[in-house]
Amino acid sequence: MGGAVRRIAAWLIDWLCISVWVGATAAVGVPLYLAGVLRPGGVLALNAIAAMVIVLPVVIAAAEFESRRSAATPGKRILRLRVSGPTGRPTYAQGLLRNALKVGVPWLLGHAAVYAIVLESSDRMPTPPWVWALTGAAYALPIVYLVTLFIGSGLTPYDRVARTQVRRVA
């Protein structure tokens, strides 16, 4: 299995773990919402709650995994990959930056795009251009990340910014 394919497979394993967290938050949040206990006011509040309850814990957990001794999320550990920084194991700050860019930004853009589409499409007016731009960004960023795995050095933009790289462990 090539390096890029191995990284994608590791990410899919990590998403299985993440889906357990999302499922647990939904199992609590949806009944509270349907019962009227939790009724945030507006799109900004919904995005803020999603960011704090779902996205932020995922980013923090990934940073924590990658800054530990194993320097790997569960998927990377299973597929024998390790994140490294310029001097060895990445710092927590590097892991946080790496995962905020890798996971947090695309996820929050996607959330914002979905909420904007739902709200702006509810009336009979055409969808505003800013909604299309937001939706385009939500799709483009992960595509750029994916493409960069297969070209050049295989360093993604988030690895370049965080000064990290992912290597196979012997």
The pLDDT tens digits of the residues spanning 116-168 come to: 887 777 667 777 888 889 999 999 999 999 999 999 888 999 999 999 999 99
Q: Give the number of other CB atoms < 10 A from CB of residue 100.
A: 20
Cα 127 to Cα 78, 110, 130, 139, distances in angstroms: 44, 16, 8, 17
Q: How many domains would you assign to the chain?
A: 1
Q: Residue 122: its pLDDT value, please?
A: 64
Of 95, 41, 27, 38, nearest in space to 67 by CA? 95
Cβ–Cβ < 8 Å for 104, 113: no
Q: Residue 46: its pLDDT value, please?
A: 76
The pLDDT tens digits of the residues spanning 27-44 come to: 998 898 888 887 777 667
In angstroms, the CA 82 to CA 165 distance is 8
Q: Is 162 left (phi over 0), alpha (psi -120 to 50) or beta?
A: alpha
Pair of tokens at residue 9: 């497979």
Q: Residue 7: its pLDDT value, please?
A: 96
Q: Residue 97: its pLDDT value, please?
A: 98
The pLDDT tens digits of the residues spanning 33-75 come to: 888 887 777 667 877 888 899 999 999 999 999 999 999 999 9
Domain encompassing residue 141: 3-168
- φ, ψ of residue 167 to 5 degrees: the values are -130, 155
101 CB contacts (<8 Å, ≥6 apart)? Answer: 157, 158, 161, 162
**Confidence (pTM):** 0.88
